[in-house]
């Protein structure tokens, strides 16, 4: 095999080659300065203390999610209270080392009196173990950076060269310490442990300790499967060290056998006790469905990674949570052949930078191939990015991937799980970024042969960062709207807020009075622009705050939200200062009342104020007091109707909402009992207001033009209910006109 040395990865101290790739980042010129070694120990202390205090003070999972895998580990560990232990009495989708570590942490935590949160001592104990391994990652990165920056020839061993290498290594670990994803992973996941054994295997093989490196891979494999990715990297390094097949086969066999024996020895207690649990766990890992990858998108799955099946059943086979359909044997073959192509290409793997670069390429290609992706998986890639690109390029890639992680979790999965377009965009952009990183590693290893890709490599980080920026400008407002609509749907006062957002409610008054700050905070995100929101009750705490009389001075009418003690107190104050024109009961969402202050009517007249008549009165006993129309997509219209039950309807009625063309022909519609059957009319209470939403799908071939929307009710005999307008005129065929819609 040809062992011709190739171009170094960007950032290595080598003479510049006549290629079109960008110049490597220069190391700081620190000749004659103090050694950076003391600074490393200071950074190590800061790194350790910062992460320990993070574990103590910051809630794992954060305030949005308020959940992390620590809860899962605790649930597993607490089974030991019943004498049930992992891989002795049940299987898991992970190897056994961390589950047993969790059991040990839990048993120790029982020695401490519990805090209000039962997770505290368990999280601190297990999390401290994670912090120790993460600190080991920090130290290993420093060692690896020193090796990757070391001088290659005697001529380079000049005064100050050692300091220059030290400053390079210091730069690497500073970049790593400032990354967000490792902290995020440490506060909820055990991937720092698996990363430690991966980096340790790399460090050991670079120091010529073949057996110890193989043992590290074996131990790491029983933490998580990822460290096993280093085996082909180690074998490639060994080939360049020995250079002949016979010796290489001996060393390669020793490495593989040592890794396998390490795995076997650690698994032996479980294999002797209950081998079925180990084999079931292996089948579960192989049988998982795709998640959060391009493969999951192709299979139509937009959820997170999970494993199905009964963990107390050793014969379980139903591990997939959604149907597959992709030819995985073909995908595996394609990626396997691509990796074989990379593996056989010549590069000088006697050099530390090239071994680290090939390890980074291996991890990147695996993430591109992997059936699933979780945000914490990024910790396996970022160390290689900052190790080999401790410059603006590495920072750009790291920030792009980090922002995508946050958009995925918690923004998508917690805040806007219905916005599948957001997950799609995140996955596609991450796949492109991983592809660009694959190119970065490849150009660093085989620069001259890939000169034609140098322009793409040069501009990839900036282009990806720009693409992410554009996506954020476009996507964040859409995500914000999706979040607001989700919170509105979950709010008990959602119907009240939705009605106030209708044109009919705004026509009554553009002033809303509320009695407490909580109600103000619930209404403001949706109504702040359209209404003048006024908070009463402040004068009882602050002398300078306006009184209730001040708030209603000069008004003809005002909406008053009566919810909670503050709202009821405000209503009692207003009883003596005017009269109530109408009251709408939204159930648990509170009451909405229209108030007219005592005094002259608008314009100085004396005609008593009255509420506007409803949009329509139906013979069923329901009044349509308002509606909203929203285009939720190019071919979707959401119609929300607000029915006021002046009397309990005598029977069940179905609501129809329709889109008619210019000639009155039906082109689309949606029929259902109110709220898709959640609140049928026979269960309506007199005086209550019911929000009734209908999503109308428009035909794809609907020609441009102006279309009318109508709504109404019909009974079980399909007879439409008579409806009349504000002036008493009956609507034809009981169809209440809601307005027009222009379709481009």
Tokens of 76: 């597993």
- Residue 65: the pLDDT is 77
- Residue 668: the pLDDT is 94
Residue 688 near residue 586, CB atoms below 8 Å: yes
Same domain? For 576 and 650 the reply is: no
- Asked if the structure places residue 360 within a domain, the reply is yes
CA 143/CA 137 separation, integer angstroms: 10
- Asked if the structure places residue 509 within a domain, the reply is yes
- Residue 5: the pLDDT is 37
Tokens of 721: 């209910």
Same domain? For 375 and 522 the reply is: no
Same domain? For 200 and 347 the reply is: yes
Same domain? For 452 and 545 the reply is: no
- Asked if the structure places residue 49 within a domain, the reply is yes
Tokens 């479980």, residue located: 270
- Asked if the structure places residue 611 within a domain, the reply is no
Residues of the chain with confidence (pLDDT) below 50: 1-33, 151-156, 158-159, 600-607
713's CB contacts (< 8 A; 6+ apart) are 618, 620, 622, 653, 654, 655, 656, 681, 720, 721, 723, 734
Burial 658-671 (b: 16+ CB within 10 A, else e): bbbbeeeeebbbbe
Tokens of 445: 């290893």
Strands 654-660 and 723-724, by their bridges, are unpaired
Give the torsion through C-alpha atoms of 707, 711, 717, 723, to 10 deg: -120
Same domain? For 379 and 517 the reply is: no
**Cis before residue 410, ω within 30 degrees of 0?**
yes
Residue 275 near residue 311, CB atoms below 8 Å: no
The total number of structural domains in the chain stands at: 3
Same domain? For 204 and 136 the reply is: yes
- Residue 59: the pLDDT is 78
Last residue of a domain, one of 551, 571, 604: 604
Total length of the chain: 744
Tokens of 121: 């001592």
CA 689/CA 529 separation, integer angstroms: 24
Same domain? For 189 and 327 the reply is: yes
User: In Å, how far are 93, 343, 645, 647 from 687, measured between CA atoms?
Assistant: 54, 75, 5, 7
Last residue of a domain, one of 446, 477, 508: 477
CA 723/CA 715 separation, integer angstroms: 13
143's CB contacts (< 8 A; 6+ apart) are 169, 203
- Asked if the structure places residue 438 within a domain, the reply is yes
- Asked if the structure places residue 270 within a domain, the reply is yes
452's CB contacts (< 8 A; 6+ apart) are none
The 10s digit of each residue's pLDDT in 413-456 is: 999 999 999 999 999 999 999 999 999 999 889 887 777 777 78
27's CB contacts (< 8 A; 6+ apart) are 13, 149, 164, 165, 167, 168
What is the side-by-side strand order in the sheet with 558-562? Answer: 532-535, 511-514, 558-562, 591-597, 578-585
Tokens 């069923």, residue located: 620
Q: How many CB atoms lie within 10 A of CB 549?
A: 13
Same domain? For 311 and 198 the reply is: yes
Burial of 316 (0-12, 13-18, 19+ CB in 10 A): middle
Q: What is the DSSP letter of 465?
A: H
**What Rg, from alpha-carbon coordinates, does the chain have?**
33
Residue 694 near residue 670, CB atoms below 8 Å: yes
CA 607/CA 615 separation, integer angstroms: 22
Per-residue H/E/C for 52-110 = HHHHHHCCCCHHHHCCCHHHHHHHHHHHHHHCCCECCCECCCCCCHHHHHHHHHHHHHC
- Asked if the structure places residue 522 within a domain, the reply is yes
The enclosing domain of 653 has a CATH number of 2.70.50.60
Same domain? For 579 and 457 the reply is: no
Same domain? For 441 and 578 the reply is: no
Same domain? For 505 and 448 the reply is: no
- Asked if the structure places residue 30 within a domain, the reply is no
Tokens 């073949």, residue located: 210
Tokens of 699: 């035909």
CA 228/CA 301 separation, integer angstroms: 28
Tokens of 155: 């001529």
Element (H or E) spanning 451, and its range? none
Range of the domain at 667: 616-743
Tokens of 494: 């959602």
CA 195/CA 378 separation, integer angstroms: 10
Same domain? For 394 and 366 the reply is: yes
Last residue of a domain, one of 604, 638, 668: 604
């Amino acid at each position: 095999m040809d062992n011709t040395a190739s171009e170094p990865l960007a950032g290595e101290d080598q003479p510049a080659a006549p290629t079109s790739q960008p110049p490597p980042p220069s190391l700081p010129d620190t000749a004659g300065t103090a050694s950076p070694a003391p600074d490393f120990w200071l950074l190590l202390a800061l790194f350790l203390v910062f992460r320990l205090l993070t574990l103590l003070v910051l809630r794992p999972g954060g305030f949005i999610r308020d959940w992390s895998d620590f809860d899962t580990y605790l649930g597993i560990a607490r089974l030991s209270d019943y004498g049930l232990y992992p891989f002795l009495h049940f299987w898991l989708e992970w190897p056994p080392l961390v589950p047993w570590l969790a059991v040990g942490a839990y048993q120790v935590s029982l020695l401490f009196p519990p805090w209000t949160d039962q997770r505290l001592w368990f999280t601190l104990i297990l999390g401290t173990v994670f912090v120790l391994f993460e600190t080991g990652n920090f130290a290993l990165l420093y060692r690896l950076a020193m090796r990757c920056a070391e001088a290659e020839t005697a001529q380079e061993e000049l005064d100050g060269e050692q300091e220059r290498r030290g400053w390079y290594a210091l730069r690497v670990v500073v970049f790593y310490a400032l990354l967000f994803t490792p902290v995020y992973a440490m506060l909820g996941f055990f991937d720092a442990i698996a990363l430690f054994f991966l980096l340790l295997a790399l460090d050991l093989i670079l120091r010529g300790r073949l057996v110890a490196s193989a043992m590290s891979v074996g131990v790491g494999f029983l933490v998580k499967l990822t460290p096993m990715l280093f085996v082909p990297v180690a074998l490639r390094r060994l080939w360049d060290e020995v250079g002949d097949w016979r010796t290489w086969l001996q060393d390669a066999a020793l490495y593989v056998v040592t890794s396998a024996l390490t795995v076997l020895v650690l698994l032996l207690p479980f294999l002797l006790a209950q081998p079925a649990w180990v084999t079931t766990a292996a089948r579960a890992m192989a049988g998982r469905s795709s998640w959060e990858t391009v493969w999951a998108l192709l299979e139509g799955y937009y959820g997170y990674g999970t494993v199905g099946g009964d963990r107390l059943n050793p014969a379980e086979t139903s591990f997939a949570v959604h149907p597959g359909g992709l030819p995985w044997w073909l995908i595996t073959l394609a990626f396997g052949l691509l990796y074989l192509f990379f593996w056989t290409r010549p590069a000088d793997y006697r050099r530390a930078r090239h071994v680290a670069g090939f390890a980074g390429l291996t991890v990147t290609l695996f993430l591109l191939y992997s059936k699933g992706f979780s945000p914490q998986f990024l910790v396996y890639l970022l160390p290689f990015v900052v190790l080999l690109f401790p410059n603006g390029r590495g920072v750009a890639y790291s920030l792009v991937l980090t922002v995508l992680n946050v958009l995925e979790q918690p923004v998508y999965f917690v805040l806007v799980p219905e916005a599948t377009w957001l997950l799609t965009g995140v996955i596609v952009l991450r796949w492109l970024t991983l592809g660009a990183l694959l190119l970065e590693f490849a150009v660093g290893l085989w620069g001259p042969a890939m000169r034609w890709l140098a322009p793409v490599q040069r501009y990839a980080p900036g282009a990806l960062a720009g693409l992410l920026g554009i996506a954020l400008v476009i996507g964040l407002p859409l995500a914000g709207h999706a979040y607001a609509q989700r919170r509105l749907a979950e709010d008990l006062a959602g119907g009240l807020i939705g009605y106030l957002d209708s044109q009919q409610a705004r026509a009554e008054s553009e002033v809303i009075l509320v009695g407490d700050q909580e109600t103000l905070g619930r209404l403001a995100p949706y109504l702040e622009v359209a209404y003048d929101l006024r908070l009463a009750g402040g004068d009882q705490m602050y002398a300078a705050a306006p009184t209730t009389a001040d708030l209603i001075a000069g008004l003809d009418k005002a909406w008053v939200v009566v919810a909670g003690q503050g709202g009821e107190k405000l209503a009692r104050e207003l009883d003596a200062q005017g009269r109530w024109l109408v009251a709408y009961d939204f159930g648990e969402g509170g009451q909405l009342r229209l108030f007219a202050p005592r005094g002259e009517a608008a314009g100085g007249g004396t005609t008593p104020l009255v509420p506007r008549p409803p949009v329509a009165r139906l013979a069923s006993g329901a009044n349509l007091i308002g509606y909203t129309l929203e285009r939720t997509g190019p071919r979707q219209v959401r119609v929300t109707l607000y029915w006021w039950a002046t009397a309990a309807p005598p029977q069940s009625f179905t609501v129809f909402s329709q889109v008619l063309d210019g000639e009155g022909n039906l082109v689309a519609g949606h029929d259902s009992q109110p709220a898709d059957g959640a609140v049928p009319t026979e269960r309506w209470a007199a005086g209550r207001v019911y929000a009734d939403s209908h999503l109308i799908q428009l035909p794809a071939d609907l020609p441009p033009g102006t279309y009318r929307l109508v709504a109404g009710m019909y009974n079980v005999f399909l007879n439409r209910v008579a409806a009349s307008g504000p002036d008493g005129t009956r609507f034809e065929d009981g169809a209440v006109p809601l307005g027009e819609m222009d379709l481009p």
